[in-house]
Each structure stands twice: as structure tokens, then as C-alpha cells.
Amino acid sequence: MTDIFYTSVCSTEDLPAGERLFLEVGDLSIVLLNQGGEYFAIADLCTHDDGPLGEGEVENHQIICPRHGARFDIRTGEVLALPAIQDVPSYPVRVVDGMIEIGIEA
């Protein structure tokens, strides 16, 4: 069984709906998104060409890579459209006492 350790990254007030936050947690580049009061965290790295995925537009829980249009589900990291064929890592998110925490496997 893999242990997950949660890291506090910001308060809910610091990330309004529709906004995103770019983070470095250890050696991981992560984008944290607030979609209508729900928080999602995925790797900020398109699996197609290692581009900056977090800069893409978000539509209906899908983030679109700004380089070549690959699409990923922000809830799961699942790849939804070519040219990418591999999912991106996604990370569990929780809110504790008004602070947003991201879970990282140990």
C-alpha cells in the first residue's frame, strides 16, 4: 500500500473559481485548478511533448494543451484526445480548515 502525504499549498481564498496556481512540490511541477469551487491537481506537463499543460484552456473538466491540442481530464489525468496517448499524473486534493492540500505519494 502506498502512503499519501498531504502538503498545504494555499488558502481557498487565494484561489478563486476559474483560477489556477502553478506549484513545485518536491521535484514535481503541478497545476492546481479551481473549477466552480472544486479543486483539481494534475502534472503541469503534457505527455505528448513535455509542454506546459497548465497554460491550456479548460472546458468542461478538460484541459487543452496549448501546443498541439491534446486534451486531459483534470479530475483524473486521463488523456482524452491525440496527439497525447499517455495519461498525466493527477493528485488528490482536499480542504482542511480553509487550506487546500495536495496529496503526494511517498
**This prediction's pTM:** 0.93
Q: How far apart are CA 71 and CA 77, in angstroms?
A: 9
Residue 1 has pLDDT above 70, yes or no: no
Residue 1 or 27, more confident: 27
Residue 71 has pLDDT above 90, yes or no: yes
pLDDT band at 106 (very low <50, low <70, confident <90, very high): confident
End-to-end CA distance of the chain: 10
Q: Under a CB-based contact definition with an 8 Å cutoff, are residues 71 and 61 in contact?
A: no
